[in-house]
Structure 1
Amino acid sequence: MLCGVLVEYKLSYFLKKPQKTSLLVSRTWKILAEDEVLWYRLCQEEGYLLDMSISDHSCWKLALKNCRAREHMLKTNWKNRVGAVSQLHYEPGRVLCDVHCCDGVVMAGYSSGEVRLWDTRTWDYAAPVLAAVPGPAGAAALPHVSFVRINSSLAVAAHEDGTVSVWSLLLGREPIHHFQHNQHIQALALAPGGAAVATASGFQVRVESPDDRGFWQTPGTFEIQKLVNFLNLVPDVTGGPVAVAAAEDIVYLLKAEAPGRILHSVYGQPVTCLDVAAHEAAFGIKTFGWLLNEPNQILLYNLETNQCVTKVGNSIGDFSCVNLHSSPPNMLVAGNKDRRHPVRHVWFDSHSLITANIPEEKNPRGSSITEDDPSLHRKYRGVIYSYDFSVDQLAVDSVLPICRSSYDEVSGYNYNIGLAVPYDSI
């Protein structure tokens, strides 16, 4: 404000004496135009380089210019599908079972029972294996992985035999905690910013978390009348963990030491995917076609008011995944089930996108595969794609297989990726 007043004062003074002070005006404006404090504040106001101090750059005018140019290039590349695309490969003969991402780190579980990590932030696609907990005595091999989840500090995997393993990303490959369910695990959740883990087995939802001394305990269990299909923990919650569970056509809000509360229930419309943010939950519903005026959609609910905020999407195929937590405000991205392997996971930031196409069948019939058979056709395996839009180059096939649509369409898709907002907002 002080700088603005000073500029206004000097300008009014110079306008009164234009003939004598024209040179002084130009010189003064040049000094003001090169003021580092002004350019630094302008850069911060536009949302660039927020974690830097004024001494981190010698020319903030140039820094702002470069940031604007980079943002323009990213938006152009997103819209025109220009960039580099890579596949995160695993050895042949294994089927992809589940994928989850956090800040560009990808966690994948396979039919061999192994769990692997990739860090796409450094483009180092070496895939270290996380050591699994040994199975029951006499077991010839690890059961296949049912679910994987990862956040900034922990990684969790659930296997087909009911075993759940928890790793610390800071402490190495060996699990720091594991527990066993007597029945098949239908859903797994990990708090995005904490250490709480939730599992659904049978008709029970169980929450585990470490105390102040690092000892794991069970702060809450919930009995559900139906089998849970999807489970998420609400981020940024004070007090005990809060979970959202989808059981067939009912969505529950579960809080410790409180009875489960029904968030949504419509008979004959099962939930097909689920994700939550701090104050909202988004989930896909399937109509079975008997409601002719309501195609498959994604519903957005407010967790505080229990009210449906909006409905988005208009799809013949089932919505197979939705990302609400890591999306910008008032935006979400969804994957669809209208190809061979549905999109089961989507993660993105300003310059990259990660998608996972996961097969329905983890043990393909008629493929004659053995434990070390390298001949399993890739059409059975599933695939993980990593797209980098900060690379200003065309892919091998000239067009990245995503986000293809015209601007006059309400919504568009290609290869099962559809955006639920105008693309100019990306």
Structure 2
Amino acid sequence: YTSGEVRLWDTRTWDYTAPILEPIHSPGDAGPQPHVSFVRINSSLAVAAYEDGTVSVWNLMFGREPIHHYQHNQRIQALALGSEGATVATASGFEVKVESPNDRGFWQTTETYEIQKLVSFLNLVPDVTGSPVTVAAAEDIVYLLKAEDPGKILHSVYGQPVTCLDVSAHEAAFGVKTFGWLLNEPNQILLYNLETSQCLKKMGNSIGDFTCVNLQNSPPNMLVTGNKDRRVRVFDLRKSESLCSLYAHQLGVSAVQMDDWKIVSGGEEGLVCVWDQRMGTKLWEMHARHPVRHIWFNSHSLITANIPDEKTPRGASITDDDLTAHRKHRGIIYAYEFSVDQLAVESVLPICRSSYDEVTGYNYNIGLAVPYDSV
């Protein structure tokens, strides 16, 4: 929160009071807490980076006090937490720092990398044995940061900045933006092999910038992207053309995730859409005021977060000096639970279980997009 609080929510219960994870206070901290810039969580750790360059790490099992704390001299631009295990990477200024506990459980700085440009995206490669591997995108350069090869450049084309980045265990996918003087080379998604550092595939052919890409959570040989041209595209990594292209978000796509058959996308205008990839049809949508900045789902739940771009709105209250944000200036987090406890037959509306025995019937003005009727 902009108040400096970090709260830990348990989405499995509805009456859960979220505890505040306490930062480490130094004796001179009398003023207001610095804003929280980034938060990350995995199955065992929660990490928060603050505006003043401090980073706190909490163990989810051991209560509210941080188990580790470290400081950057400048504002933190990016934060990454390993999907499993206990590795944290942060980028501040021209430095990328990787922290993890040693064999005895004491946290230490595993690696520090000096790079030439300011980092905009930072990811830790999952399922790596040995020392952590980090992928960092800094303007128009993508770095592959390993302990044995600290400054390796994975991709660099002058004047073509990276607009989004995601990594899986063996590959990295990122969007690059061209500035129009190369008319025969539009904006694309590039796929690189992290072991050979070779470009495997160039995908897409879009005038708009690619704003988000999800490779890690996608099915094998698939990835899903969002673009400023309002389209969500699904790519098969064995082909160059998109498998499907879905038009939804008026102000551009800001977050995407897919599984075997459905796609969830969020837009800058605050709309969350659930799509059936096989039919290319929108199944469901939900709207909130602010841009969708986070989407995560599994087989039985969906979590979305609408986060305002303006963090400290003036005039949000009756008096301008009062910075208590009016409700419309606050972000909102939604947690949806799918009907897992019901029988498959019961969880579908009666109108969707039509057997077509009756020729005529009232459809309650519902436009159905469900291909699962028994004919």
* TM-score bracket for the superposition, by shorter chain length: 0.5 to 0.7
User: Would the aligned equivalents of 1:156 and 1:166 in 2 still touch at CA under 8 Å?
Assistant: yes
Q: Is 2:268 the counterpart of 1:339?
A: yes
Q: Does 1:234 align with 2:234?
A: no
Q: Which digits, 9 at most, give the CA deviation of each residue in 1:130-168, with x for residues without a partner? A: 112226724411111111111111111000001100000
- Residues 261 and 371 of structure 1: is their aligned pair in 2 closer, same or farther, counting only changes over 3 Å? farther
Aligned to 2:365: none
Task: Provide the C-alpha distance between the structure 1 equivalents of 2:333 and 2:59, rounded to a whole number of angstroms.
Answer: 23
Q: What are structure 1's unaligned runs of at least 5 residues?
A: 1-109, 395-405, 408-426
| Cα deviation digits, residues 240-289 of structure 1 (max 9, x gap) | 11100010111100001323211122222222222211111122333345
Q: Is the CA contact 2:314–2:323 (under 8 Å) kept in the aligned structure 1?
A: no
Structure with the bigger percentage of helix: 1
- 1:267 equivalent to 2:164? Answer no
Q: Distance in 2 between matches of 1:235 and 1:156?
A: 17
**Distance between the aligned counterparts of 2:103 and 2:213, measured in 1?**
33
Change (3 A) 1:144 1:249: same
Q: Would the alpha carbon gap of residues 198 and 130 (structure 1) be closer, same or farther in structure 2, given more than 3 Å must change?
A: same
Q: Which residue of 1 aligns with 2:196?
A: 305
Aligned Cα RMSD in Å? Answer: 3.1
Pair 307,121 (structure 1): closer, same or farther in 2 beyond 3 Å: farther
Q: 2:91 aligns with which of 184, 200, 203?
A: 200
The residue identity in structure 2 corresponding to 1:114 is E
Match of 2:273 in 1: none
User: Sequence identity of aligned pairs in percent?
Assistant: 75
- Tell me if structure 1 keeps the 8 A contact 2:42–2:81: yes
C-alpha spacing 1:208/1:371, structure 2 compared with 1 (3 Å): farther
What CA distance in whole angstroms lies between the structure 2 residues aligned with 1:344 and 1:252?
25
Size of the aligned set, in residue pairs, is 288
Decide whether the 8 Å contact of 1:134 with 1:142 is kept in 2: no
Contact 1:344 1:356 in 2 (8 A): yes
What SS does the aligned partner of 2:143 have? strand
Decide which structure has greater strand share: 2
Contact 2:316–2:323 at 8 Å: present in 1 too?
A: no
TM-score w.r.t. the length of structure 1 is 0.60
- Name the amino acid aligned to 2:330: R
Contact 1:321 1:344 in 2 (8 A): no
Higher deviation after alignment, 129-138 or 189-198: 129-138
Query: What 5-or-longer segments of structure 2 have no aligned partner?
Result: 227-252, 255-266, 270-289, 341-346, 350-368, 371-375
Q: C-alpha distance in 2, partners of 1:273/1:136?
A: 40
The residue aligned with 2:301 is 352
TM-superposed CA distance for 1:122, in Å, is 4.2
Q: Distance in 2 between matches of 1:136 and 1:184?
A: 21
* Contact 1:162–1:181, Cα closer than 8 Å, also in 2: yes
Which deviates more, 113-122 or 212-221? Answer: 113-122
Residue 224 of structure 1, CA deviation:
0.3
Q: After superposition, what is the alpha-carbon deviation per residue over 1:51-74, rounded to whole angstroms, capped at 9, x for unaligned?
A: xxxxxxxxxxxxxxxxxxxxxxxx
Partner of 1:249: 140
Cα distance in structure 2, aligned partners of 1:357 and 1:314: 29
Structure 2 counterpart of 1:384: 333
Correspondence for 2:313: 364
After superposition, residues 122-271 of structure 1 pair within 5 angstroms as: 122-123=13-14, 126-134=17-25, 137-271=28-162
SS at structure 2 position matched to 1:268:
coil
CA deviation after TM superposition for structure 1 residue 388, in Å:
3.3
Question: Which residue of 2 is the match for residue 36 of structure 1?
Answer: none
What letter matches 1:339 in structure 2? Answer: E
Distance across 1 between alignment mates of 2:165 and 2:5: 25
- Check whether the contact 2:312–2:323 (CA below 8 A) recurs between aligned residues: no
Greater relative CO, 1 or 2 (CA 8 Å, sep 6+)? 1
- In structure 2, how many angstroms separate the alpha carbons of the residues matched to 1:173 and 1:305? 42
Query: Which whole-Å CA distance do the structure 1 matches of 2:179 and 2:308 have between them?
Result: 22
One-letter amino acid of the structure 1 residue matched with residue 311 of structure 2: K
Using structure 2 for the length normalisation, give the TM-score. 0.68
Q: 1:318 to 1:136 in 2, by over 3 A?
A: farther
- Separation (CA, whole Å) in 1 of partners of 2:82 and 2:153: 21
